[in-house]
């Protein structure tokens, strides 16, 4: 059969190609095309390009733009194939429009270039560079280890001669006492240490080590501090010379806190006995350990001793609903504290009244629950009047919290005119249902909305499970964020779990509904501005480059894939399996390295990924050893 390609357009020998029609059906393939597909997968005339190259799934619109001439071409870089676990193949994929006089139905040609050697070389060079940097860093550290230790310490460090003359100080010392290095080095340690007896003791000939000695010191501004010093003597530059190393920690605030705690304990008994609110300590099994006179009065007892003696089952004897005590304990177990916990209770005479409790759990050093302590307020006189109003407020608040995060809703209720906050570190997720536009054209409006509602309701449940904040939906796109309005130091992991569970939900939905849907997800981590806009039908929204980048990660991702930026990858790489996709052109950013989040470590086998670079590391190690030997020779010559 004669080739579709004309003789006037020869194909370079290092390229393989596939000719496809407008429906992506394969019309012709080059002989070497099989080396770019997984074992057992056949790419042949009559099949579709997606059979052997799943990377093209979801790119139908891009193909269509090329076929119509609206886009000249596009390419996918560094696609990996694990044909051999020890020798993966990497290739670039280029798509161009192709027309032929004798075959006008041809829509395009896909070129494939084997770039395995180039990628391997790049990886080798990167690894070699990294290892060389490590070796150079170690070499430098071996020469300057003392200065590195001094600069990295958070504790105060002072090195002084036996004469008391300061030889070295670290940045923490300078920051604490307010001096510059020139003002301290070469001067007496007595400049900052006021305790002459301590200095004499630490520098005496018979003292080799002192530990945790509280010493009075003064800053440059004459502020008095208490520093806990440990001191040891080390050999100096000559046999008869001795240096003294002082390592200290500022404990001024700690001592102040201890004094304040003691004063608070002295005041507590007075407050306990004279408070108008009930104060208590109770065991998890329902007995009072302590009570003040006000608590005894609330429950109708003549004294705290009588209350403690007669009440041995709080669940049954106090609460009108015995389940209320279980709710009390459950909330404290989850949150550690409970506030404004309102309940109906019995008094000693069988009367019913309302109380409001604030309490917390007290635990030992191992986290074991010891008892509850808190306060009780009798709110019977206002509870009846408030009950009807509370119901209306609850209805309004429930509606408001369905629109806004609770902290934002609280601020809005305080009539804050402008709600806008800057968050330094959040992770933004965009998700888009692939092929939904096509589905909408063949599905009724009611069925379409029901389908979206089912999917997005499942996503809403996942946001609550993972502590995310749903921002909005736009058509078939879903946006959520972790790290606001309450900061989350591990926002990237929360969003990663959300993304993986979203994939699982889509798979479950497809199985139950026999739908071929897939989801494209993009994630980026960085700063954003968040706030409420509008005065009618207002919305809590996000702005900033992080939002744009997350959107690009989704829009330029692949169907069924979770594409993440390098910033997000840095947060996840130690706990999740991530595969490099390579660099892609991102609007406003240029060529940007991106990755695919594959799964959790332990659930995805990383052996194939790890073994692929073992040989390169061996070669790199030999190169680094040679470089290191040359550096040593150069150092000796110097």
pLDDT tens sequence across 413-436 = 666 667 778 999 999 999 999 878
Provide the β-strand partners of residue 227.
Answer: 215, 250
d(CA 269, CA 288): 17
| pLDDT surpassing 70 at residue 624 | no
Query: Which of residues 272 and 147 earns the better pLDDT score?
Result: 272
Q: Which of 208-212, 480-484, 540-544 has the lowest mean pLDDT?
A: 208-212
| pLDDT surpassing 90 at residue 526 | yes
Residue pair 11/96 in contact by the 8 Å Cβ criterion = no
Check residue 610 and give its pLDDT.
44
Q: What percent of the chain has pLDDT over 90?
A: 36
The mean per-residue pLDDT over the stretch 212-217 comes to 90
Check residue 153 and give its pLDDT.
79
Tokens (6 digits) for 161: 């001669």
Question: Mean pLDDT highest for which of 33-47, 429-443, 509-523, 562-576?
Answer: 562-576
Check residue 607 and give its pLDDT.
42
623 burial (CB, 10 Å; 0-12 / 13-18 / 19+) is middle
456 — phi, psi (to 5°)? -70, -30
* Span between the terminal Cα atoms of the chain, in Å: 72
| pLDDT surpassing 90 at residue 7 | no
Query: Domains along the chain?
Result: 15-114 (3.30.450.20), 117-152+607-638 (no CATH), 153-255 (3.30.450.20), 275-386 (3.30.450.20), 406-604 (3.30.70.1230)
Site of tokens 């249902």: 433
d(CA 525, CA 549): 9
Check residue 389 and give its pLDDT.
75
List pLDDT tens digits, range 10-29. Answer: 677 778 888 888 888 888 88
Residue 475 pLDDT grade (very low, low, confident, very high; cuts 50, 70, 90): confident
Site of tokens 């990237």: 492
The mean per-residue pLDDT over the stretch 196-225 comes to 83
The mean per-residue pLDDT over the stretch 405-417 comes to 70
Residue pair 245/202 in contact by the 8 Å Cβ criterion = no
Query: Which of residues 203 and 72 earns the better pLDDT score?
Result: 72
Give me the numbers of helices (H) and strands (E) for the chain, helices first please: 20, 23
> How many alpha carbons fall within 13 Å on the CB side of residue 419?
24
Which value, to the nearest 10 degrees, does the dihedral of the CA atoms of residues 559, 561, 567, 572 take?
170
Check residue 205 and give its pLDDT.
57
404 — phi, psi (to 5°)? -125, 155
List pLDDT tens digits, range 536-567. Answer: 767 888 999 999 999 999 999 999 999 999 99
Tokens (6 digits) for 541: 């929204």
Tokens (6 digits) for 147: 């200065």
Output the average pLDDT for the chain: 83
Check residue 546 and give its pLDDT.
93
Check residue 212 and give its pLDDT.
86
Query: Which of residues 588 and 309 earns the better pLDDT score?
Result: 309
Q: Which of 11-15, 216-220, 475-479, 612-616 has the lowest mean pLDDT?
A: 612-616
| pLDDT surpassing 50 at residue 614 | no
> How many alpha carbons fall within 13 Å on the CB side of residue 542?
32
DSSP code per residue over 538-597: -EEEEESHHHHHHHHHHHTS-TT-EEEEHHHHHHHTTTEEEEEEEEEEETTTEEEEEEEE
Residue 516 pLDDT grade (very low, low, confident, very high; cuts 50, 70, 90): confident
What string of H, E and C letters represents the secondary structure of 17-68? EEEEECCCEEEEECHHHHHHCCCCCCCCCCCEHHHHCHHHCCCHHHHHHHHC
Residue 390 pLDDT grade (very low, low, confident, very high; cuts 50, 70, 90): low
Q: How many residues does the chain have?
A: 638
Check residue 140 and give its pLDDT.
66
The mean per-residue pLDDT over the stretch 354-374 comes to 92
| pLDDT surpassing 60 at residue 207 | no
Eight-state DSSP code of residue 196: H
For residue 485, say if its preceding peptide bond is cis, omega within 30 degrees of 0: yes
DSSP code per residue over 61-118: HHHHHHHTTSS-EEEEEEEEE-SSTTS-EEEEEEEEE---SS-TTEEEEEEEEE-HHH
Tokens (6 digits) for 4: 């579709």
The mean per-residue pLDDT over the stretch 141-163 comes to 78
Rounded to a whole number, what is the largest CA-CA distance in the chain?
Answer: 109
Question: In this structure, which long-range contacts are made by residues 180-183, counting pairs with CB atoms below 8 Å and at least 24 apart in sequence?
Answer: 183/220
174 — phi, psi (to 5°)? -60, -40
d(CA 337, CA 346): 24
Q: What percent of the chain has pLDDT over 70?
A: 86
**Interhelix angle 406-413/380-401, nearest 10 degrees:** 120
d(CA 242, CA 435): 78
- State whether the Cα torsion 29-35-37-39 is positive or negative: positive
d(CA 29, CA 48): 11
d(CA 498, CA 518): 16
The mean per-residue pLDDT over the stretch 314-326 comes to 89
Check residue 128 and give its pLDDT.
80
List pLDDT tens digits, range 92-132. Answer: 889 988 776 665 565 788 888 888 888 888 888 888 888 88
User: Regarding beta strands 518-533 and 562-565, do their DSSP bridges make them parallel or antiparallel, or are they unpaired?
Assistant: parallel
d(CA 180, CA 171): 9
Residue pair 605/598 in contact by the 8 Å Cβ criterion = no
What order do you get walking across the sheet with 337-346 strand by strand? 288-291, 278-282, 369-378, 352-363, 337-346
Check residue 36 and give its pLDDT.
85
The mean per-residue pLDDT over the stretch 605-633 comes to 48
Output Rg (C-alpha) for the chain, integer angstroms.
Answer: 35
Eight-state DSSP code of residue 9: S
Tokens (6 digits) for 597: 């989040």
d(CA 23, CA 41): 20
Check residue 4 and give its pLDDT.
59
Check residue 620 and give its pLDDT.
45
502 burial (CB, 10 Å; 0-12 / 13-18 / 19+) is buried
In angstroms, the Cα distances linking 346 to 221, 350, 357 are 61, 5, 15
Residue pair 556/582 in contact by the 8 Å Cβ criterion = no
167: left (phi over 0), alpha (psi -120 to 50) or beta: alpha
Check residue 618 and give its pLDDT.
44
476: left (phi over 0), alpha (psi -120 to 50) or beta: alpha
Check residue 274 and give its pLDDT.
82
Residue 163 pLDDT grade (very low, low, confident, very high; cuts 50, 70, 90): confident
514 burial (CB, 10 Å; 0-12 / 13-18 / 19+) is exposed
d(CA 243, CA 241): 7
Q: Return the SS3 of 606.
A: coil
């Amino acid at each position: 059969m004669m080739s579709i390609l004309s003789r006037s357009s020869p194909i370079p020998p290092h390229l393989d190609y596939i000719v496809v029609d407008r429906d992506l059906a394969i019309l012709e393939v080059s002989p070497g095309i099989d080396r770019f597909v997984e074992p057992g997968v056949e790419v042949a005339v009559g099949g579709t390009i997606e059979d052997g190259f799943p990377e093209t799934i979801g790119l139908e619109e891009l193909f269509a733009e090329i076929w119509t001439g609206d886009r000249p071409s596009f390419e996918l870089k560094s696609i990996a194939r694990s044909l051999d676990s020890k020798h993966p193949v990497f290739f670039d994929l280029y798509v161009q429009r192709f027309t032929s006089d004798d075959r006008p139905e041809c829509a395009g040609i896909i070129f494939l270039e084997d770039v395995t050697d180039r990628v391997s070389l790049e990886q080798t060079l990167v690894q070699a560079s990294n290892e060389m940097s490590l070796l150079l860093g170690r070499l430098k550290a071996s020469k300057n280890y003392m200065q590195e230790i001094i600069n990295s310490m958070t504790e105060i460090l002072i090195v002084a001669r036996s004469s008391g003359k300061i030889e070295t100080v670290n940045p923490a010392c300078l920051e604490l006492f307010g001096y510059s290095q020139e003002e301290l080095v070469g001067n007496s340690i007595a400049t900052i240490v006021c305790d002459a007896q301590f200095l004499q003791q630490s520098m005496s000939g018979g003292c080799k080590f002192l530990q945790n000695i509280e010493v009075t010191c003064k800053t440059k501004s004459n502020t008095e501090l208490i520093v806990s010093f440990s001191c040891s003597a080390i050999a100096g530059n000559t046999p008869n010379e001795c240096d003294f190393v002082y390592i200290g920690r500022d404990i001024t605030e700690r001592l102040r806190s201890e004094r304040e705690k003691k004063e608070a304990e002295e005041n507590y008994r007075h407050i306990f006995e004279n408070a108008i609110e009930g104060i208590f300590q109770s065991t998890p099994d329902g007995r009072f350990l302590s009570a003040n006179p006000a608590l005894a009065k609330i429950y109708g007892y003549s004294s705290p001793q009588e209350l403690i003696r007669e009440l041995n089952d709080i669940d049954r004897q106090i609460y009108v609903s015995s389940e209320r005590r279980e709710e009390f304990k459950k909330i404290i177990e989850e949150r550690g504290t409970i506030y404004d916990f309102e309940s109906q209770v019995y008094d000693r005479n069988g009367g019913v009244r309302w109380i409001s409790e604030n309490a917390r759990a007290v635990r030992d050093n191992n986290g074991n629950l010891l008892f509850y302590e808190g306060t009780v307020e009798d709110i019977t006189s206002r509870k009846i009047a408030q009950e009807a109003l509370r119901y209306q407020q609850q209805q309004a608040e429930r509606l408001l919290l369905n629109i806004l995060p609770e902290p934002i809703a609280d601020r809005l209720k305080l009539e804050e005119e402008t709600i806008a906050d800057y968050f330094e570190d959040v992770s933004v997720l965009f998700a888009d249902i692939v092929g939904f536009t096509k589905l909408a054209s063949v599905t009724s409006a009611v069925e379409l909305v029901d389908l979206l509602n089912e999917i997005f309701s499942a996503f809403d449940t996942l946001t609550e499970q993972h502590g995310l904040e749903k921002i909005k939906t736009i058509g078939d796109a879903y946006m959520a964020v972790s790290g606001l309005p309450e900061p989350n130091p591990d926002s990237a992991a929360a969003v990663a779990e959300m993304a993986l569970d979203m994939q699982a939900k889509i798979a479950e939905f497809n199985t139950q509904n026999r739908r071929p849907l897939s989801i494209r997800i993009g994630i980026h981590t960085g700063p954003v501005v968040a706030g409420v806009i509008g005065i009618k039908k207002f919305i809590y929204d996000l702005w900033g480059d992080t939002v744009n980048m997350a959107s690009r990660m989704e829009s330029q991702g692949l169907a069924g894939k979770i594409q993440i930026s390098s910033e997000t990858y840095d947060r996840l790489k130690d706990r999740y399996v991530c595969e490099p996709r390579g660099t892609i052109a991102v609007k406003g950013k240029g060529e940007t390295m991106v990755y695919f989040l594959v799964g959790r470590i332990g659930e995805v086998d990383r052996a194939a990924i790890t073994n692929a670079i073992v040989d390169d590391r061996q070669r790199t190690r030999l190169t680094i050893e040679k470089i290191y030997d040359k550096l040593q020779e150069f150092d000796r010559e110097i």
